Structure 1
């Protein structure tokens, strides 16, 4: 081969290696109303109006009621039905698409708020149970749809920030609920239920959910800065989809993280029952408000960390795991000591009382920890789904598993001894059980489990080229 031809081959090779790998471009032109940020905003508003306001009611402690047991029973029914609706949610996506699945999912929340209103004002209980059932049937498909959208719509380098921004709206509902209730009950330093006027505002807000969902872009209309189209649809037959979902549930990696999911979400009923039993109405309202603020800040910090691409995927996965689970362990030790004392002394703490801070601070940390667990679980399952269809399935399985754990949690917390002390001990045990099996999966993320979001979007060859280019860039810097 001549010297000239050798130079030509060398130049061609350099040009080839300098070509951007798929998805590496971050300057693709987009219209603001098709952007991933716009869709994160709309998804967040839907989250605020549906589960956010639901969370606002529960963050008041027992849905704002004086005793937590009826509301815990209703919530247990909600989550039982959500297990069912989550499992079949990919079939719903196949029939009507992801956008309309999300819209349908918002429709059952307002009847739940109406049930709490009539119980608070008139004392009837049947609408609480009916509203809980309707909420469970719709919320399962809503939870799956929003999770699948959150994992598929954003660019890989915006995944964590998208999750943090979107989930902030759920906590925004809690902050709003706390602010409303604090304004109405600032002078109520006794145990009891909140004003029924609070629920009228909640019903009106939740009724707006379906209309907000209409503003979401279909996947085919989303425009991303990296130029990669969003493909989020199910094409299998209904029976094949059920079999694929079942097979994914029984896969090794998913079964190993089931205890991690359970210990993270079991906490919700524990912390809200704790709040309703041991604090005055206005202290509960203050807790709802402040814990939401703390959780928004901590969740967005975690999102920024998970997007910090200067750190390897291995470092991000393991670092977040050790910090989140380590803090959880400290909080469970703290909680065990407190509830053992509270069960014996039966206090009702107001913010002017000595000793108020020790239990109130725990509640704030619990809510922040719940948010961190929630976000981290999305990060983990996002790295277990190999295709966009699997994203829909694993989102449904994640939310279904969460619902099963929460159904058990709310059901057990409807029993007085479990609500006051037993569930804290149980959740402490679940945390300990979850660590080892979860670590078996987490330690493989970034090692044998590659960046699945990139792989789904640019393929295995594109991912290999991207990683190779990044290694060369680091070696030259």
Structure 2
């Protein structure tokens, strides 16, 4: 059966290929729960919760919970700089050690970074924080790349948006845990400063155990989808060929045009963390960590329903999602942010630190929550878009790695800029506003072709399902403008 499902182009050794050890049954009589795509979404979510989710929990406390954000921002710039390299190499690494081991390796570097934050918080140790940031960067790039590939290839097309919503809900669930713990320990601290160091001990424990959850993920060849289409996520090409194919995909017109969209989507993370640290008390920061996660979970899952809405075709869903998440809401959030930061600039650094009992607290705190929600919606939209731009199984894992490498490069620059005291405030807010504006036209040139020229994996799976039903050989066609 696998020969009948494999593209004939995969037989050419000069071309990149993707094969599966064993395919799942075309129409399984009964789906085993621990091989279902919903089970996979939960396990992938738990992996995310224990690694980048807890990292996000620390980050959402404002600068990793430190009194000032500048050293932590510099360490994060180091992390994301290294992640550019390892995310780009994700497909090559997966070729040798497989999906689950790649996910395990990717999660292993997060605990040393949390330990570095603990040592810096308690003893002002700086070198261990930078070492932890480097170890996190080496491993996290592969984690980001492989989880992106899993998220785009495992679910049935009709459930892709809900899969993204469930998976990314676990990412922000780390913030709920972190915020709740810190809020309980810091509820009486109405001034600026560091968070309680006991918070980090909980984070370190979770992140140390997190990598082992990866072994609960069903491997691609054992996943049972409702539509009976097997999941292919095993790279079987020489290293140099794989690197060449990944680079070619990056330089396609359709990917280059969404690079500004990716950049503006993730550039806000360091800004929002710095903003929270500089303008709010310790307990307000803990409240921000908790509430932003709740807002993100609600907004993300509602957005997932829009992405999966059956009343609209793919073209309409792509355009509505772009209009709502990127054009209208993101533009409104950054306009609000520029106004608030200009107001804080006029007040001065000491007068613009707010506790939740202070008058004027809600204006800036609301801006923080809105930008956090915008980050979640834009994040989900990026996966939706990238999932429509490729159809070949090999390109799914490649575009996942490229998406995360591009994100990492943007965040390395963002955290580097926000490590400069002279950059914080209205200048950083205005830069984010400018990046949003610049991204709109290039992104639209791609978005308007979704459902017209780009159909992604859904169309490929439909053709394969038809071939299975007819009992004929499925031959994969070239993608539109595949190398242009």
Please, what TM-score do these two structures have when normalized by structure 2?
A: 0.89
Matches within 5 A, 1:102-117: 102-117=103-118
Matched residue SS, 1:432? helix
Counterpart contact for 1:28–1:227, Cα < 8 Å: no
User: 395, 404, 408: which one pairs with 2:413?
Assistant: 408
Cα separation, 2, equivalents of 1:220 and 1:322? 37
In structure 2, the partner of 1:77 is 78
Counterpart check, 1:454 vs 2:461: no
Matched residue SS, 1:386? coil
Counterpart check, 1:336 vs 2:338: yes
Matched residue SS, 1:383? helix
TM-superposed CA distance for 1:394, in Å, is: 0.2
Higher gyration radius (CA) = 1
Cα separation, 2, equivalents of 1:458 and 1:313? 14
In structure 2, the partner of 1:9 is none
Mean Cα deviation higher: 181-190 or 153-162: 153-162
Counterpart contact for 1:29–1:225, Cα < 8 Å: no
Cα separation, 1, equivalents of 2:127 and 2:88? 27
Counterpart check, 1:281 vs 2:282: yes
Cα separation, 1, equivalents of 2:360 and 2:194? 22
TM-superposed CA distance for 1:460, in Å, is: 7.2
TM-superposed CA distance for 1:458, in Å, is: 4.2
In structure 2, the partner of 1:220 is 221
Task: State the superposition RMSD in angstroms.
Answer: 1.6
Matches within 5 A, 1:78-477: 78-325=79-326, 326-345=328-347, 346=349, 347-450=352-455, 452-459=456-463, 462=466
Q: Deviations over 1:159-196 (max 9, x none)?
A: 11110000000000011111010000000000000000
Cα separation, 2, equivalents of 1:137 and 1:397? 16
Matched residue SS, 1:359? helix
Cα separation, 2, equivalents of 1:264 and 1:211? 30
Residues 246 and 74 of structure 1: is their aligned pair in 2 closer, same or farther, counting only changes over 3 Å? same
Please, what TM-score do these two structures have when normalized by structure 1?
A: 0.90
In structure 2, the partner of 1:6 is none
TM-superposed CA distance for 1:97, in Å, is: 1.0
Cα separation, 2, equivalents of 1:165 and 1:109? 22
TM-superposed CA distance for 1:364, in Å, is: 0.6
Cα separation, 1, equivalents of 2:375 and 2:28? 35
Residues 279 and 310 of structure 1: is their aligned pair in 2 closer, same or farther, counting only changes over 3 Å? same
Counterpart contact for 2:229–2:464, Cα < 8 Å: no
TM-superposed CA distance for 1:385, in Å, is: 1.2
Residues 461 and 37 of structure 1: is their aligned pair in 2 closer, same or farther, counting only changes over 3 Å? closer
- Specify which structure has the higher proportion of helix: 1
Matches within 5 A, 1:3-82: 28-82=29-83
Counterpart contact for 2:229–2:465, Cα < 8 Å: no
Counterpart contact for 2:92–2:239, Cα < 8 Å: yes
Q: Deviations over 1:306-327 (max 9, x none)?
A: 1112211111000010011211
Q: Deviations over 1:237-264 (max 9, x none)?
A: 1000000000000000000000000000
Cα separation, 2, equivalents of 1:184 and 1:461? 54
Matched residue SS, 1:214? helix
Q: Deviations over 1:14-51 (max 9, x none)?
A: xxxxxxxxx9x998521111111111111110000000
Cα separation, 1, equivalents of 2:430 and 2:206? 36
Cα separation, 1, equivalents of 2:58 and 2:128? 16
Unaligned ranges ≥5, structure 1? 1-22, 467-477
TM-superposed CA distance for 1:98, in Å, is: 1.3
Q: Deviations over 1:172-225 (max 9, x none)?
A: 001111101000000000000000000000000000112111111110111111
Cα separation, 1, equivalents of 2:334 and 2:399? 29
Cα separation, 2, equivalents of 1:74 and 1:217? 34
